[in-house]
Amino acid sequence: MPRKGENIYKRKDGRWEARYIKSIGANGRARYGSCYGRTYSEAKGKAEQMKANLLTGYSPIRTSADKRRFDSFCDEWLRMMKNNVKPSTYAQYTAVLENYIRPQLGSYLPLDISSKTVDEFKEELLAESNLAPKTTKDILVIFRSILKYTAKQFPGGFPSVDISYPKQFRKETRILSIEEQQRFMAYLTHSMDPCRFGILLALLTGLRIGELCALRWGNISLSNGTLQVTATVQRLPNQSGSTKTKVVIGVPKSEMSARTIPLSDFVVQLCRQIGPGCSFDFVLTGTEHCMEPRTLQYRLKKYTQECGLDGVHFHTLRHTFATRCVEVGFEIKSLSEILGHANTSITMDLYVHSSMELKRKNMEKLSEIF
């Protein structure tokens, strides 16, 4: 039952419908419009806004798009993006749509999506789905892109929707200390096999896990002392709507990720020690078959546990490499290019971690002027 005088009902689909008078006909009969919301207060707020719009003379042009649900615009946006992004990005978009956006907002009419609707969606992702702020922000960024596409389908005007992103708290990144790195390197070089060599190579060059899995011996030039990053390995959905996945060798993460890394004499000697194979063989396996990232992660976990190291993930190796480079005075622009970053700010903000030893040395420099 509606509350007295408010003409607001709860529908069978769970949404609330608030009706308001759009106009009075010549026969004196009222013409009604409806607003929808996930809560009573949301539907009521939309109806009050529409009443205010009528008083101020605002009246958007109604089109056939008004009757289409938001999920139909999601489908159109996804089809449009398919040929404009990499398969891995398309798979991410599809997963976000199917798991979060479509179930929560797909049944809405686009004009019924308000800032409050998005705020409630955000809180549900954080509280009920227990997603991290960074993951929630990524979902909202995709939603914003879809909403921007949707707004273009309404030539008569589309209401402004404010999207506030959750505040992110930067977590302390795990970095191997010099002692831990030396211990781990000694472990890897003892009875070294292709997989242990590959992990050691990543620790000494900053390679990403997918880049290492895609690395072939033909990408390494011992005469020039260089390593070329030309591909990456990922596990992606086999087809739309399928739960099956497949390993795909594709282009690197970004244009800057395709790069040439100079190798130190120590790394070149390690390469000679392991014995370069055929140029088409993958470094991690020594065969024409690549190792997938998931298997490499399992191997790394096993090795670090045996070495007495806790909390080490593959990206820890990349962060550790960047930190060691800063500690020995690497020029940031060079480090950024070796890591395959688009600009130096990414390197400084995400990958440069000053150790306590380096901080202490810098503090000691102050004593020289007193």
Q: What is residue 191's predicted lDDT score, i.e. its pLDDT?
A: 87
Q: What is residue 370's predicted lDDT score, i.e. its pLDDT?
A: 61
Mark 242-278 as b/e (b = at least 16 C-beta within 10 Å). Answer: eeeeebbeeebbeeebbbebebeeebbebbeebeebe
Q: What is residue 272's predicted lDDT score, i.e. its pLDDT?
A: 92
User: pLDDT of 31-70, one tens digit each?
Assistant: 777 777 778 888 888 788 777 777 765 555 455 555 788 9
CATH, domain 65-151, list 3.30.70.270, 1.10.150.130, 3.40.50.300, 3.30.70.520: 1.10.150.130
Q: What is residue 13's predicted lDDT score, i.e. its pLDDT?
A: 74
What residues have CB less than 8 Å from 269, skipping those under 6 apart?
Answer: none
Do 178 and 241 touch, CB atoms closer than 8 A?
A: no
The CA distance from 370 to 366, in Å, is 7
Q: What is residue 64's predicted lDDT score, i.e. its pLDDT?
A: 53
Topology of domain 178-365, per CATH?
hpI Integrase; Chain A (1.10.443)
Collect the ranges in the chain with pLDDT lower than 70. Answer: 1-5, 23, 25-28, 56-66, 156, 170, 239-243, 351-360, 362-363, 365-370
Q: What is residue 353's predicted lDDT score, i.e. its pLDDT?
A: 62
Q: What is residue 61's predicted lDDT score, i.e. its pLDDT?
A: 47
The β-bridge relationship of strands 259-262 and 245-250 is unpaired
Whether the pTM exceeds 0.85: the reply is no
The CA distance from 340 to 321, in Å, is 13
User: pLDDT of 114-162, one tens digit each?
Assistant: 888 999 999 999 988 889 898 999 999 999 999 999 988 887 677 788 8
Q: Which two tokens mark 287? A: 């065969």
Domain locations along the chain: 8-59, 65-151, 178-365
